[in-house]
Amino acid sequence: MTAAPATLDRIRRHLVGLRMPRALEVLEHLLRQLERGEISALEAIDSLLDEELSLREGRRVKAALKMGRLLTIKTLAGFDFAFQPSLDRNRILTLAGLDFISRHEVVHFLGQPGCGKTHLAIALAVEAVQAGRSVYFTTLAELIGSLAKAEREGTLRERIRFLCRPQLLVVDEIGYLPVVAGGGNLFFQLVNARYERGAMILTSNRGFAEWGEVFGDTVVATALLDRLLHHAIVVRIEGASYRLRRHADLLPDTSSARPVTSPETPRRRGRPPKLRTADLSAAT
């Protein structure tokens, strides 16, 4: 059955008017399949709409990744779980279900440099974007720099409000660079504003007991951890650097180095904290 030229031209004009470029592109191919009896009319319509929807979804995801500053894409499929046997793969896949975002929880990835913390944080952020959640990615140094700039310009409240909009905020590289004077207080203001209102993923190469040193203020560090560990999921990665795996023989012996641990976390005064750091199932 061949479509009349006038009808076909009208369909093309409709697709252009409806801004459906992918549907217009595959129209001829689907018509040929329909004429050969390879697909039914309903299947042709379904394929036409599916192609257009896939294109639009791809554009949405691409735009959301750019807005969220996720310029380097990492995926869970691309993570080598075999290289990090201390990591529970099922636990990470459970996190990929994104229930922690709905519960406004904080996920902490702790481990030495190169063990995969940033990869996992970005991969979960990508999963969130694909699921339609809003995401923003930044390093701690970049974050505090932007907050300090906003404070100098008198726009700190607006900047914090902006950083509270994403459903998931990812803060990478806590402990890698020294925090400028007053930076811990600025970070606390953001954490306090997002507390129980938005989810976060934090990565750090330093244990919680060292955060006083990281932020240069034990009082601020305690206040930060008071909120960041109240609804928390802590994932410790004990393995070595993935990036340096081929050059392990050239590295100094670190077998006696102090591991990233958090032997004791601050206690909330009054009501007891609901820490869920040992078992993900307790957080789900």
Q: 3-state class of 216 per DSSP?
A: coil
What does the pLDDT read at residue 278? 38
Q: How many helices (H) and strands (E) does the chain have?
A: 12, 5
Superfamily of domain 81-283: P-loop containing nucleotide triphosphate hydrolases (3.40.50.300)
CA–CA distance, 125 with 122 (Å, rounded to integer): 5
Contact 204, 175 (CB under 8 A): yes
CB-based contacts of 208, cutoff 8 Å, min separation 6: 225, 229, 262, 265
Q: Indicate where the chain has its CATH 3.40.50.300 domain(s).
A: 81-283
Sheet (strand 106-111) strand order: 135-139, 168-174, 199-204, 106-111, 232-237
Q: Average pLDDT of each block of 10 consecutive residues along the chain (284 residues)?
A: 80 95 95 94 96 96 97 94 92 98 98 94 98 98 98 98 98 95 97 98 97 96 98 91 57 49 46 41 35
If we measure between CA atoms, which residue out of 68, 67, 206, 45 comes closest to residue 124?
68
pTM of the predicted protein model: 0.80
